[in-house]
Structure 1
Amino acid sequence: MGNTIVETQIKEVKDFLGSTVEKLETFLNTTTLKSLEEEEQGDADFYRHILSSIRRLAVFCEEGLEACKVIAGSQPFSKGAAEKTLYRIYIHCIEEFYSPKSDIWFEDSRAAYTGKNAIKFRDTVPSKVTKLLASLEGDFQKIREELEYYETDYRTKMLQSK
């Protein structure tokens, strides 16, 4: 891929991550375990895991945002570093969004055909959590489609270099 395409993608991903981090931080700064329990009676451990998964996603997105800022601001532009960063963002941010380590939620692969949200929770959750993930889902899907190339291409390059 040409430098200009990769440069454009770094800028798009930087904007996406900036917006995502802002939404996640706002949610995390205004939401407590107690507020979730007050909104919807449920399993406190499950709610703890939800907040933990959202915090983990926020950290990955913040790290990706910082990497994008560094690469976007560097002269000369390093295509190799940018591609590696986009690959890591795909692995850490995109995959964590759709399939968090704790398996608190999962992606319903049939959602694309039904027009419904792809994120499904293992148990009942407060609407505040559902609204947050629904507000992020469209942008995550767009960036996922943009970055799928790097996931495949980078793994192929790594295998060929062995």
Structure 2
Amino acid sequence: MEDEPYGGMIVHGGNDISGNEVDSAARKEWIKQVTQVVFFINITKVGDYACTRASNLVDVDIPEGITIITKSSFGGCSSLKDIMFPKSLTSIGNYSFNECSNLGRVDLLHTNVEELGQQAFIYCTSLREMKVPNSLQRFGSSAFYGCSKLTPSDIGKCENDAVVAYLRSIQ
């Protein structure tokens, strides 16, 4: 048990982190130890880079009230397998879950998501299942690029309207 990383991260007020902090050596070492995320109540967004490169984070339960997951919030969380999304969620930003290579399933059916940002799930190489609600209207470019297990395997190269229609058809 001593060799296992353990650490928690508290997300509050959107937890926006500047680009300089994301690239600092101290943050890179600290974020590797994060195994859980606790969200304060009364926040409405997960800010830019909030959990970027938290490589030991396995699951995340995003609480009700959060409406936006912003740029690169969970990018590079290579151990992330399970995400619970709230009904209040309306937008997933650019690169939000890029390179989450263990993420196998995303279920947004019970949410109010209207928009998936560009490259939101790029290189999620284990992603096999994606469920989207009828509220989904906007879809960024290359949202599923490199998601070779998601059917059809070339989904990342398809026109946005075709991708949305396909994802709705498999619900």
TM-score, with normalisation over the residues of structure 1? 0.21
Structure that is richer in strand per residue: 2
Structure that is richer in helix per residue: 1
Computing the radius of gyration from Cα coordinates, the structure with the larger value is 1
